[in-house]
Structure 1
Amino acid sequence: MLEQLAAIWNSLLSSLDSVPEDSIAVTVYVVGTIIVLWCWYGVAKRLPHLLGGISWIVLFAILATPTVSDGANAEIAPAIFGVLFGILTKEQPLVWANTSLILLVIGVGLVIGYLWSKYRMNKLTSNESRAPI
């Protein structure tokens, strides 16, 4: 039985060798972000409406704001990694550049959330006015 499991494991690993590492990393990151945001949605819907929405937007911005990493093998990376790397290396421009990207996504998310709440409020009031007496 153990030999069969080892054979299955080896065939799985050999099939993963044919997939580029960048594709695996991006797929794991995107799926992980979706799982974390879905779990946080379960928590946020139990919070007061405003606090739950804002916390979801902030978590989304922290996890999903992209930036380009520095160096010879520059790739797309989450901006929070740029902030942490800038803090560790004491590079203030890197910290501010990535923090400003995260704050931009938070600001856009808050504006979209505000407009969405106004749309829902108008939709509810228009449906109430159409209700028969």
Structure 2
Amino acid sequence: MREDQSGIWTNVLSVLDSIPEDSIAITVYVLGTLIILWCWYAIAKRMPSPLGGITWVVIFAILATPTISEGPNSGIAPAAFGFLFGVLTKDSPLIWSNLSLIAFVMAVGLIAGYFWSKYRANKAATQASKTVKISSPL
């Protein structure tokens, strides 16, 4: 490493040392989740209408459902990690609690998506009827 770059690297590391580890972990997790969901949105919008939205909600529920981790230094963690940890340790209550959280978020997202699609269909039908009335000579 060149001499002028080592000074910059040392300054960057000293700034990162002053930030608490929990804040860095949560920031990286949230930004990573947003990037993954944004990339999946680019894929999902090319899918048929209900399938793209459903897959986006499923991925959102798997990635973004929070839970409280176990242990002495517990904190907020993704429920998918708790679920996988429960499967690896064969801890049934941990598996079912995390799976139920993910299923709840998925159900709320699917219900909200259903009502949103009904709202948009109704709005499009209303605008189409206004267009027809305006353009008719009678």
Give the TM interval when normalised to the shorter protein: over 0.9
State the 1:72 CA deviation.
1.1
What is aligned with 1:95? 95
What is aligned with 1:58? 58
The aligned amino acid for 2:102 is I
What is aligned with 2:41? 41
What is aligned with 2:119? 119
The aligned amino acid for 2:78 is P
Structure 2 gap segments, 5+ residues each? none
Identity of aligned residues (%): 61
TM-score by structure 2 length?
Answer: 0.94
State the 1:106 CA deviation.
0.4
What is aligned with 2:10? 10
The aligned amino acid for 1:29 is Y
2:26 is the counterpart of 1:26: yes
TM-score by structure 1 length?
Answer: 0.98
Distance 1:48 1:129 in 2: 25
Any idea what the Cα deviations from partners look like across 1:4-55, whole Å, max 9, x if unmatched? Answer: 1111011100111000000000000000000000000000001111110000
Distance 2:37 2:25 in 1: 18
Any idea what the Cα deviations from partners look like across 1:82-132, whole Å, max 9, x if unmatched? Answer: 000001101011001000000000000000000000000010011111112
The structure that has the greater radius of gyration is 2
- Runs of 4+ deviating beyond 4 Å: none
**What is the alpha-carbon root mean square deviation over aligned residues?**
0.8
State the 1:56 CA deviation.
0.2
